[in-house]
A and B are shown apart, each in its own frame.
Chain A
């Protein structure tokens, strides 16, 4: 199983809503990532979890709250988002996050629209 599964595939939410994005992998990977991708731009890193601990937070606004309940699951909790937060949110995992060590596998993404 070399899959990273993201749910939902599409999400439309209002600015006052609270929602969560979910990501799951069963490859035994110990590093998991959230990326945000705007149209015609490369993915930009938001968070990195290494061994279920937050190791990188790329100055992401607090309306995005990541959670890693166990080594297979990664959540992104959303609250009071703005229309400019509309984007494709990608989850990825890799064996571990050491430099140059291993490739990352990506999910299909969640297309988020904030209205």
Chain B
């Protein structure tokens, strides 16, 4: 099973509307990252959250990490075509070697329709 679950898997939103993507972990998160990926391209770093209750914003995107540090949400206000892509949450998880590895959630594919 996936350590990081995202919902929804895909989202179709009319331009100008708001939307929210969720990322849930079964373990306490020490660092939670949000990335955006265009098809077949690299990942673009959006935001990093570390403290419970932390909230960060950049342009029209806001991300929050809940107090228990096991869930994060990404909220986009007044969506635009440029927001379309795949949104991935990532977190540092323990590897089989006992050290940390950046593991990604299942991803949310966002489509913006005019």
Binding site for B on A (CB under 8 A): 4, 6, 33, 40-45, 48, 50, 55-56, 58, 88, 90, 92, 94, 97-109, 111
| Minimum CB–CB distance for A109 against chain B, Å | 5
Give the contacting residue for A100; candidates B30, B44, B97, B104; CB below 8 A: B30
Give the contacting residue for B105; candidates A42, A94, A106, A109; CB below 8 A: A42
Known: A48-B101, A55-B99. 18 other contacts (CB 8 A): A42-B105, A42-B106, A43-B88, A43-B104, A44-B104, A45-B102, A45-B103, A56-B95, A58-B101, A88-B40, A98-B100, A100-B30, A100-B92, A101-B92, A104-B45, A104-B90, A106-B45, A108-B42
Of A4, A43, A106, most buried by chain B (CB within 10 Å of CB) is A43
User: What 1/0 mask marks residues of chain B from 54 to 68 whose CB sits below 8 Å from any chain A CB?
Assistant: 000000000000000
Give the contacting residue for B42; candidates A48, A90, A101; CB below 8 A: A90
Give Cα A50–Cα B97 distance, bound, in whole angstroms: 13
Binding site for A on B (CB under 8 A): 29-31, 33, 35, 40-45, 48, 50, 88, 90, 92, 95-97, 99-107
A-B contact count (CB 8 A): 73
B102 touches A33 (CB 8 A): yes
B97 touches A56 (CB 8 A): yes
A90 touches B40 (CB 8 A): no
Given contacts A42-B88, A97-B99, A99-B31, contact A111 B105 (CB under 8 A): no
Give the contacting residue for A104; candidates B30, B41, B50, B102; CB below 8 A: B102
Chain B residues with Cβ below 8 Å from A97 are 99-100
Chain B residues with Cβ below 8 Å from A99 are 30-31, 92, 100
The chain B residue sitting closest to A57, CB to CB, is: B97
Of B35, B41, B50, most buried by chain A (CB within 10 Å of CB) is B41
Chain A residues with Cβ below 8 Å from B45 are 103-106
| Minimum CB–CB distance for A64 against chain B, Å | 16
- Pick the 8 closest A-B CB pairs, nearest first: A100-B31, A100-B30, A42-B104, A99-B100, A106-B43, A106-B42, A108-B42, A99-B92
Chain A residues with Cβ below 8 Å from B100 are 97-100
